[in-house]
Structure 1
Amino acid sequence: MKKGILRMRLISVSILIIWGAFVAFKPEPKTIGDLMESYEDPGLKIKIRSPFSGTVLVAKKGEIIFEEAYGESDRVNKTPITIDTKFGIGSITKQFTAMLIMQLVEENTIKLQDTIGTYLPYLPKEKANHITIHQLLSHTSGLSHYNSLQDIGVSLNDFGNTKYSPKALAEVIGRTYLVNKPGTTYYYSSFGYDLLGAILEEVSGKTFSELLNASIIKPLGLKNTGFGTNEYNSINLAKGYSYREVYGWDWWTSEHGGKTIEVPFRDQSTAYAAGGMHSTVKDLFIWSEAVKSNTLLSPELTTIMLTPNMKGHCYGWVRNWDDIIEKNTKVRLYGHGGALSGNSAFIALYDDETTIIYLSNRSNLKAEEILHQIHLRANNLTDEYKLKGYPNRSSYKRFKESGGMSALQDYFNTLSEYSGYKVNPSNSTMRGVMKIHLEAGEIEVADSLKTVFFNSYNPDERTLNEFGYDFLNSDTPKYALEFFKENTIKFPNSSNAWDSLGEAYLTYKSYQEALECYKNAVSLGEEVAHRSLKNYKENLKKVQDKLKG
């Protein structure tokens, strides 16, 4: 290496070390304002995944104690965000959709136990005759989320760029496969709320936007809330951006240690009643106060709307989000977040009468950290009630030294008690614990974890595929086979699941088994004109050539 280049690298490393030390020794932010400023300009490392750009409102006992705006609504034109800037609110939309449904229940126009075929008779019978309004509201319908679209040959990109009528969208959802028997298990599904939107339009004779205006927006006097068209949103809403951290030489040309890009377009008709609304923090504060004071709905039906079902999910709200409870076991709250097309949002109503609302034009913010830190400062609390006892998972030795499986089980049993519903270790935790036991030769323990994961976690197709490929590329590649097999058992109509199992068999040189899997992938792919059909056929030919050779 030339001396000049070496000298420059040494200087660069030295500057990074000095700057990192400077950031590390900055005093802890004491106020909400200090905290948000630290999130807006985070230096080298940040705790919330992206520099904050957006608006924040905090209230105590119905009185606003903090509201501020940060960043730019349009980075090209350098337009500053103001407290009245409108943002897409993503899945916070579900709260409004749930309220509209409950208002119709109060009018006795619909019933929570009605099956959806009562209002959408054109849907397939397996859905129309068995899924209820309650199940759609509580995410227990068995419907999938967006990741199931590929199984019917629809790419997420094509879906997001297509304009659908409510009926056409419902028909697409009707073609997707159920992931569970309706009413048996919780599974978060935006498709369920899209069907609620279609039902609202069918019953009321109004569009979702018209009904929203008549039943919620006008009665509350909201000035900056609604369900806008594509054209309206492009002009009037903050543009959405995504951020990713960068390292090494890329850091020198980065902003805040990362790269920020504008997100691609998504048609409003696909976000619809599950995530297509916009609002401001001030309007959402008015909304939250109306929910608490039964302004739009009777106390009896408000209680039903806010009653936790499986996994703490109410209708459009979540009771005691475990990621928040884990950070402060003393708090209790109702809340819901939203993330859509470069936007992140959250509304949290704490039992101690603290309200925290933020809207941002950055994707993938770490909501639990933002809410926790704001709540501490809004109430002059110290960070002393974090749940303790989580075992170290960096290696098998350290895991055992910190209590092992017993400690892990105790930790999540305690968290479940605080949250009010069963909380399991995350998918990544389960995968990591399996790996360290496999590496230590503790096959029986890894197998028992795998069985628990299959039976209790209700993993979707994407998760099983991710686990499979992760193990396929690890030091224990043969362990991947069970995950790929489970995927084809649970999702037998998925051409992608069969293709992945075929790839695993091909890796193990089990060519005959790979052949059968690829045949299934091609056959299923042809039924739905799958966008990856060409690849499936190429993989099939590859195995056929192997068997011939």
Structure 2
Amino acid sequence: MSIQKPNAPRALWPLMSIFLWLLFSACAGKEAEIQASLNAYTEQGACNGYLYVSQASELLYDSAFQKGSQNFARLSKEDRLDLASLSKLFTEVAILRMADAQLIELDAKVMDYRPGFKAVKAGQITIRQLLEMRSGLARELNPEFQFQALPLDSNGLLGPYLDNLESLPMQAEPGTKEEYSNLAYWLLGAVLEAVGQANLDKVLDQWIFEDLEMHSSGWREGRSSLKKGYVLKREQWSKDPKDYSCRYASGGFYSSVTDLAKLAKALHGDHFLSAESKAFLQKQDALSIYGSLPSSSHLIMLDWRAELTIIMLQNLALEDLNRIPRFVTECRNALDLASAERPKRKVVLNSLERLADTVPMESAMKEWLIALRKGNPKDIFQILAKHSEAGSFNPDDPTWQALADLNRDYPDWKALGYRWINEEEPGGLELWLQMNDHSKMALLWIPSETNPNRIGNLFIRPDDMEWMGEKY
């Protein structure tokens, strides 16, 4: 016996056709707008990546893009790439999943899960403080050896090595100050090992990858199939031979666009995390994580209110990382999200008088602010270059002249103060300028991955003003 579904009344067919046509037209229009933004992005310099954009259940963009060397191999949605700091999302989600299973308490201490932990002061740090970047730990265990092989035991565990360290470098008392720290996520990795009773490959499989069928993600296992990134040496692009699994739970994982899209869908939904864990993850309207390595420039942005996901993976380092947040702004404009009513963000700034000569980046900021006030583009570049890694900035970049021109365009501008950004990415030292009664600008120095006392990149965030021919 066959069962036939009732057909739609013939009178409704034209209406259904119109609805489907309008829906298709709207999707096509959004895709075209995103493509236009991406075209502008690729015109700004070499790139090789994959872009995925979705809103609610609607897929808006899903394609590779590239410009530059003929040596670039075009990326696919399934290609496995080093994630850099996007790895932190995996670490945090695994912790929250264990908390949902009542295996971890966010207010418990590291020592509660690793009783043999010898660094007594660091052992008192809570899981919540580690997640919120309020641990007081230094940025790195050893800045000079960030990319050396990890001292893992025979089971692939780093926890036993961390247990035996007599002390860990601290910048502040736990809970008293927000300070971006990769080392904090190493301790979270050690907690995951202890609670999961396995290395991070197995822990991530059990608590994230298996449930979401993320078959192209991991840590050390399966690395032979990774798509290598590109580094620029002597004006030539070549493949980067380094194994970045040494960045452990702060930046050593890999994944694909396909797998990240699965995770994003789960985090937007109501079944993967408990309501309490979702509230913890969604403390801000949007979660933006940037990842940067010598051969990687990535972004994942989850806008909770708009149900928007933007994933951009690139297997090369951009000369100007500002390109990514500029693209996100243009993409949001294309989707008509920038005009949505959003609560004003409260930013607490420190007085400029508190910039400390004993803190290298703060001392450099004082020097750079003087150059900004004088308005000499050469000085603005040279002071920045003096305190950054060699080759980080291009002397011919028009940004230096644009910064100097602020004195012409906004003759009454003043510096409001500074802050350290630690709970979001990109993090670093940010200077705020008041341009006039309604316009502001934030200048963010991102610490170098290889030496956190030096500048790795500069992000410029205009607010309610025109900057370099664009309105913000």
TM-score when normalising by structure 1: 0.54
CA distance in 2, matches of 1:174, 1:369: 44
- Asked if structure 1 preserves the Cα contact closer than 8 Å seen for 2:415 and 2:431, the reply is no
Percent identity over the alignment is: 21
Q: 1:56 aligns with which of 51, 56, 59?
A: 51
Q: Secondary structure of the equivalent of 1:355?
A: strand
Equivalence for 1:333? 286
Equivalence for 2:13? none
Equivalence for 2:142? 149
Which amino acid in the other structure matches residue 292 of structure 2? A
Q: Secondary structure of the equivalent of 1:177?
A: coil
Aligned residues: 347
- Asked if structure 2 preserves the Cα contact closer than 8 Å seen for 1:393 and 1:399, the reply is no
Change (3 A) 1:376 1:399: closer
Change (3 A) 1:240 1:174: farther
CA distance in 2, matches of 1:199, 1:428: 32
Change (3 A) 1:83 1:464: closer
CA distance in 2, matches of 1:259, 1:403: 42
- Asked if structure 2 preserves the Cα contact closer than 8 Å seen for 1:74 and 1:80, the reply is no
- Written as runs of structure 1 = structure 2, the 5 A alignment for 1:67-466 is 67-71=62-66, 79-146=73-140, 149=142, 155-156=144-145, 159-164=147-152, 165-171=157-163, 175-229=167-221, 232-233=222-223, 235-243=224-232, 259-268=236-245, 270-307=246-283, 319=284, 332-350=285-303, 351-364=305-318, 365-366=321-322, 367-379=324-336, 394-396=372-374, 402=410, 407-409=414-416, 427=429
Q: Secondary structure of the equivalent of 1:334?
A: strand
Q: Output one character per residue of 1:20-76: Cα deviation in whole Å (capped at 9) or x when no partner.
A: xxxxxxxxx973223334434x3xxx2xxx522110001122211111112499975
Change (3 A) 1:286 1:70: same
CA distance in 1, matches of 2:200, 2:134: 23
Which amino acid in the other structure matches residue 344 of structure 1? S
- Asked if structure 1 preserves the Cα contact closer than 8 Å seen for 2:288 and 2:424, the reply is no
- Written as runs of structure 1 = structure 2, the 5 A alignment for 1:502-513 is none
Q: 1:361 Cα shift?
A: 0.2
Which amino acid in the other structure matches residue 58 of structure 1? V
Q: Secondary structure of the equivalent of 1:186?
A: coil
Q: 1:107 Cα shift?
A: 2.1
Q: Secondary structure of the equivalent of 2:142?
A: helix
CA distance in 2, matches of 1:422, 1:63: 27
Change (3 A) 1:116 1:404: farther
Equivalence for 2:8? none
CA distance in 1, matches of 2:62, 2:424: 35
Which amino acid in the other structure matches residue 369 of structure 1? R
Change (3 A) 1:286 1:428: closer
Q: Secondary structure of the equivalent of 1:182?
A: coil
Change (3 A) 1:335 1:81: same
CA distance in 1, matches of 2:230, 2:96: 34
CA distance in 1, matches of 2:70, 2:219: 24
- Asked if structure 1 preserves the Cα contact closer than 8 Å seen for 2:53 and 2:311, the reply is yes
- Asked if structure 1 preserves the Cα contact closer than 8 Å seen for 2:119 and 2:163, the reply is no
- Asked if structure 1 preserves the Cα contact closer than 8 Å seen for 2:268 and 2:307, the reply is no
- Asked if structure 2 preserves the Cα contact closer than 8 Å seen for 1:115 and 1:132, the reply is yes
CA distance in 2, matches of 1:198, 1:217: 19
Change (3 A) 1:381 1:184: closer
- Asked if structure 2 preserves the Cα contact closer than 8 Å seen for 1:160 and 1:266, the reply is no
Change (3 A) 1:462 1:66: closer
- Asked if structure 2 preserves the Cα contact closer than 8 Å seen for 1:102 and 1:301, the reply is yes
- Asked if structure 2 preserves the Cα contact closer than 8 Å seen for 1:85 and 1:237, the reply is yes
Q: 1:290 Cα shift?
A: 0.7
Q: Secondary structure of the equivalent of 1:53?
A: strand
- Asked if structure 1 preserves the Cα contact closer than 8 Å seen for 2:302 and 2:309, the reply is yes
Q: 1:338 Cα shift?
A: 1.6
Greater fraction of residues in helix = 1
CA distance in 1, matches of 2:293, 2:236: 19
Say what the alpha-carbon RMSD is for the aligned residues.
Answer: 4.3
Greater fraction of residues in strand = 2
- Asked if structure 2 preserves the Cα contact closer than 8 Å seen for 1:144 and 1:177, the reply is yes
Change (3 A) 1:59 1:30: closer
Q: Output one character per residue of 1:71-120: Cα deviation in whole Å (capped at 9) or x when no partner.
A: 499975x6432222221222222122112112222222221111111222
Equivalence for 2:4? none
CA distance in 1, matches of 2:38, 2:164: 42
Change (3 A) 1:213 1:73: farther
Which amino acid in the other structure matches residue 396 of structure 1? K
